Amino acid sequence: MKKIIECVPNFSEGRDKNVINAIAEAIRGTEGCTLLDVDSGQSTHRTVYTFVGDTETVIQGALAAARVARKKINMALHKGEHPRFGAMDVCPFIPVANVTMEECVEVSRQFAQLAAEELGVPFFLYEEAADQEYRRKLPDVRKGEYEALEDRLKDPRWKPDFGPAKFVPSWGATATGARMFLIAYNVNILGSANQAHRIALNLREAGRGSDQPGKLKDVKGMGWFVDEYNMAQVTVNLNNYHVTPIHLLFEEVKREAAQLNLAVAGSEIVGIVPLESLIMAAEYYIEKEGLFIYEEAHKVRLAVERLGLNSVAPFIPEDKIIEYIVAEPPEEPLASMSLRGFIEEISARTSAPGGGSASAAMAAIGTALGSMVAKLTQGVRKFESVEPQMQKSIPILHELTRALIPMIDADTSAFNEYMEGLRLPKGTEAEKKARLAKMQAGLKTAIQIPLATMRLGDTAWDTLCEVAKYGNPASKSDVQVGAKALETGIWGAYQNVLINMKDIKDETFKAETMAETMAIENRSRQMCAKVLDILESI
């Protein structure tokens, strides 16, 4: 899955539709960015945009939005209820998928530097990007708001991290940084607003004051009554769902409500959420209830049901989970073909797809057959005695099969970098050196793909032995074919490593890689024989 970063810039404009729409269009028009939400407030005179992109495109989306704000927003005329000190008041970057907090910090720094230089305005770093603790919290950075900014910029302690240390009346200043994903979450209470607020005070981190802190960290909350639902709610912001996850908040509300003889009637997520937060909830209930669930879609469904996320409105995963909203069909032209089409493509008068793609396909078929037999054994009454072995085996082989399938296409595209190097000019010594370096890097990339196939396949053997030993005996031949297919897939990938290795100049890389691949190939032959021996004894 690609890297996904969420950006939530807040602009000091909530009334002029032309400006609001112009900023939205700037984000929407940035290639690689997906605008998810635009939330404007008349009284706050503020609009919050939510969009996602990767580590490069998200910077461009934020820059495009800032450029519009620089032209169209004049902070000297701005009044609103929400705290603010800049046209683009705050611009946090949030890790969503396959991205670290450190990467988001670097993204925020790059954005601040580029925007400050181009727009000529001051930028402050806050939260995880802050270099000094006293600048970490947004309220501290924004203290005194726009009206105090001119004098504050004269204080050396508040010199901007990027941009001029001078007051720009039309802009003010911007705070940018990196933080965890904030989840807006409400739990429904069949009670009064006072009772819901009482629960919120017990749970939120601030509690009832410094002398009476709440139970849960990184939680802000209160209680209110929603007329349209005819229910009260404990409404919270989960500032870090790794510290206080959704399911923990829900279970604590249930516990507090029970002490007040109140019923909990489900919950709702306001806005969107990362997939991980729901998978965490599912894993909690799977462990708590001793369930056996391995498919992602079923885990999401379990989380939705246990948290009652359909209680006030339908929870549609494709509209609420970030990764599903921005999902694109995988670029797997070979793996997406019909079986006939794939075989015919291999037989065509072209060098790719070839043995590498075929090897990955065979390895995937090998683990898939093991997965099939385990699934056909699991849950059958007469095989209840081996249920633990099957429940352990199924997730491993299921995920390995999913991981091996992309290797079919990855192998075909593995030579792109090498071919790019081959086409480089070679007239001068410098050009020859650059060409050789590019070709060598390309060969290493080409080796890494079949090596990845080998590594994945290698992790299947112990589990395949378990399936051979405890699986449905009627499926004996399926496991036999699976073992031979996996062995052949690993052997084929090994041959692809060998053929590319002969031109590698890096002797250290060659020695280390050959030692690993030879060990995997040797173990593959031994483990295949072991699986077949187990089956022959049945």
Tell me which long-range contacts 331-339 makes (C-beta under 8 A, separation of at least 24): 331/409, 332/405, 332/406, 332/408, 332/409, 333/409, 334/408, 334/409, 334/412, 335/405, 335/406, 335/408, 335/409
Q: How far is CA 185 from the centre of its chain?
A: 20
Q: Pick the closest to residue 24 from 48, 2, 4, 44 (CA basis).
A: 48
- Asked about 82 being catalytic, the answer comes back as yes
Distance of CA 474 to the CA centre of its chain: 41
Rounded distance between C-alpha atoms, residue 420 and residue 432, angstroms: 13
**pLDDT band at residue 1 under the 50/70/90 scheme:** low
DSSP state letter for 274 = -
43-70: per-residue pLDDT in tens? Answer: 889 999 999 999 999 999 999 999 999 9
Report the share of the chain in percent with pLDDT over 90: 83
- The C-alpha atoms of residue 49 and residue 515 are separated, in whole angstroms, by 52
Catalytic residue among 82, 140, 161, 197: 82
Q: Give residue 308's pLDDT band: very low, low, confident or very high (50, 70, 90).
A: very high
pLDDT mean across residues, the chain: 94
Report residue 257: phi and psi, to 5°: -65, -40
Say if CB 177 and CB 7 are below 8 A apart.
Answer: no
Helix H or strand E encompassing 231: strand 231-238
**Known active-site residue 161:** no
Count CB atoms within 10 A of the CB of residue 11: 28
Tokens (6 digits) for 104: 């988001």
**Amino acid code (one letter) for 132:** Q
- Could you give the CA distance from residue 415 to residue 434 in angstroms, rounded to a whole number? 17
Q: State how far the Cα of 324 lies from the Cα of 322, in Å rounded to an integer.
A: 5
Residue-range domains of the chain with CATH: 4-178 (3.30.990.10), 183-325 (3.30.70.670), 339-536 (1.20.120.680)
User: Helix (H, G, I), strand (E, B), or coil: what is residue 326?
Assistant: coil
Q: What backbone torsions phi and psi does residue 94 show, to the nearest 5 degrees?
A: -130, 125
> Residues 6 or more apart from 293 whose CB is under 8 A from it?
282, 286, 299, 302
Closest CA to 220 of 182, 251, 253: 182
Q: Which of 67, 87, 54 minimizes the C-alpha distance to 25?
A: 67
Q: Which of 133-142, 406-415, 424-433, 477-486 has the lowest mean pLDDT?
A: 406-415
Mean pLDDT of 434-451: 90
Q: What is the pLDDT of residues 79-106, one digit of tens each?
A: 888 889 999 999 999 999 889 999 999 9
- Integer Cα distance of 11 and 204 in angstroms: 28
Alpha-carbon span 2 to 34, nearest angstrom: 14
Whether 115 contacts 61, CB under 8 Å: no
Catalytic residue among 89, 161, 409, 411: 411
- Which tens digits make up the pLDDT trace of 6-49? 999 999 999 999 999 999 999 999 999 999 989 888 888 999 99
